[in-house]
């Protein structure tokens, strides 16, 4: 066998998102791009705000010496200071540059966090449905992902969480706004979650870190608030990227921030910075770091996503789909009309409508569709959604 058995196994279990995306490429080659309605991948088609374009151009035109050399592995100090200032205002906790590490997107941030925290066999709790890469991220660093189910409306099931917590639990991951459901956890959820973790630590003497994976933080609708975990829990690690709110996923830029009162914070920060280097990222790209420094309060136009959400919600519920209305991000996670979500996704694919089976997110019986796509793709998909639903 030419590659490692563990990687061969992972390839066979690889993300359903990627599988459906590749199916979309095949169908577009066969039927033409306009004849395929690909809602499988969360790859924003909206362009970055003009201020972002200007910041990138300005950074590229800066000819001061040394701007393209190696830097501290945590990132440029002035960029981290700008991030800390912006985040402090959001979370009500005073952060400084030394609490921030610039990273290659949220994926890079999650990996350096878990690499820093996990001993072999340690457990990481994730709530289903969840972003499937969490399984691989934990496994990358010797950990085991423990899946905790949520309620019917995708709110957290605290009884199930209490049963899942053990002396091996090292971290709990939350993702709000959530991929794939679009659900946003309210302040009371984070308060109760923090209370449960503090009680567990008091009972066991084992520290549990709360990791918030928040790349969709600014994409919310209807005035919904998105509380920051640092307001409620001191052993918190905040991970985010600019991929979604600035529509620059290809630039691979984000950051990790650690609560100033986090247990063993100095060692934790040293570990994050070290792992940023040894995992091969070394540091986040210099040019885009300097660009995002000046657009901390900028975001894409959320109204366009809300308009797409409202159209899809009206049409899906008209047809008869059961779906929780998303409060943020740019995904729907409806129930499949049949128990076999893969079969249902395949039937949709026959109508050239591409979605991702729910089992790809740890929730069989559902499917995910992404609406960060052109309006004509969304509108063109409705006939297929209706025909396949009626046939079942």
Q: State residue 27's pLDDT score.
A: 75
Check for a shared fold between 5-48+301-391 and 51-292: no
**C-alpha–C-alpha distance, residues 265 and 270, integer Å:** 8
Q: Kindly report the CATH class assigned to 5-48+301-391.
A: alpha beta
Parts of the chain with a pLDDT under 50: none
CB 112 within 8 A of CB 256: yes
- Tell me if the bond preceding 75 is cis, omega within 30° of 0: no
Q: State residue 37's pLDDT score.
A: 93
CB 374 within 8 A of CB 45: yes
- Closest to 321 measured CA to CA, from 231, 276, 382: 382
Residue-wise pLDDT for 225-270, tens only, equals 999 999 999 999 999 999 999 999 999 999 999 999 999 999 999 9
Q: How many CA atoms lie within 13 A of 371 on its CB side?
A: 29
CB 262 within 8 A of CB 235: yes
Work out the angle at residue 269's Cα, subtended by the Cα atoms of residues 268 and 274, and round it to the nearest 5 degrees.
95
Q: What is the CA radius of gyration of the chain?
A: 21
Domain ranges of the chain: 5-48+301-391, 51-292
Q: State residue 26's pLDDT score.
A: 78
Residue-wise pLDDT for 101-144, tens only, equals 999 999 999 999 999 999 999 999 999 999 989 999 999 999 99
Q: State residue 15's pLDDT score.
A: 65
Domain covering 51-292 in this structure, CATH number: 3.40.640.10
pTM equals: 0.94
């Amino acid at each position: 066998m030419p590659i490692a058995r563990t990687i061969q196994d992972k390839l066979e279990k690889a993300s359903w998102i990627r599988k459906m995306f590749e199916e979309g490429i095949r169908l577009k080659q066969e039927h033409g791009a306009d004849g395929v309605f690909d809602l499988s991948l969360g790859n924003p088609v909206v362009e970055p705000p003009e201020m972002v374009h200007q910041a990138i151009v300005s950074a590229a035109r800066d000819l001061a010496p040394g701007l393209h050399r190696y830097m501290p592995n945590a990132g440029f100090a002035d960029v981290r200071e700008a991030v800390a200032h912006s985040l402090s205002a959001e979370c009500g906790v005073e952060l400084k540059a030394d609490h921030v590490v610039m990273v290659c997107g949220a994926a890079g941030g999650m990996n350096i966090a878990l690499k820093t925290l996990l001993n072999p066999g340690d457990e990481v709790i994730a709530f289903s449905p969840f972003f499937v890469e969490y399984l691989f991220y934990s496994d990358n660093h010797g950990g085991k992902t423990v899946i905790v189910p949520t309620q019917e409306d995708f709110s957290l099931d605290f009884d199930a969480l209490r049963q899942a917590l053990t002396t091996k639990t090292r971290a709990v991951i939350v993702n709000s706004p959530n991929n794939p459901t679009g659900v946003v956890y309210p302040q009371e959820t984070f308060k109760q979650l923090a209370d449960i973790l503090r009680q567990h630590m008091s009972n066991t003497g084992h520290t549990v870190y709360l990791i918030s994976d928040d790349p969709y933080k600014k994409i919310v609708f209807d005035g919904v608030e998105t509380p920051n975990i640092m307001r409620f829990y001191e052993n918190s690690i905040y991970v985010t990227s600019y991929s979604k709110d600035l529509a620059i996923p290809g630039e691979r830029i984000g950051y990790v921030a650690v609560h100033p009162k986090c247990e063993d914070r100095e060692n934790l920060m040293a570990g994050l910075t070290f792992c940023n280097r040894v995992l091969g990222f070394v540091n986040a790209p210099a040019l885009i770091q300097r660009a995002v420094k000046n657009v901390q309060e900028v975001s894409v136009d959320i109204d366009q996503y809300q308009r797409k959400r409202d159209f899809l919600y009206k049409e899906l519920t008209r047809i008869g789909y059961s779906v929780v209305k998303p409060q943020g991000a740019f995904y729907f996670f409806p129930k499949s009309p049949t128990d076999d979500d893969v079969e249902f996704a395949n039937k949709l694919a026959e109508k050239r409508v591409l979605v991702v089976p729910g089992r790809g997110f740890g929730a069989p019986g559902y499917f995910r569709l992404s609406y960060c796509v052109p309006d004509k793709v969304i509108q063109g998909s409705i006939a297929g959604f209706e025909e396949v639903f009626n046939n079942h």
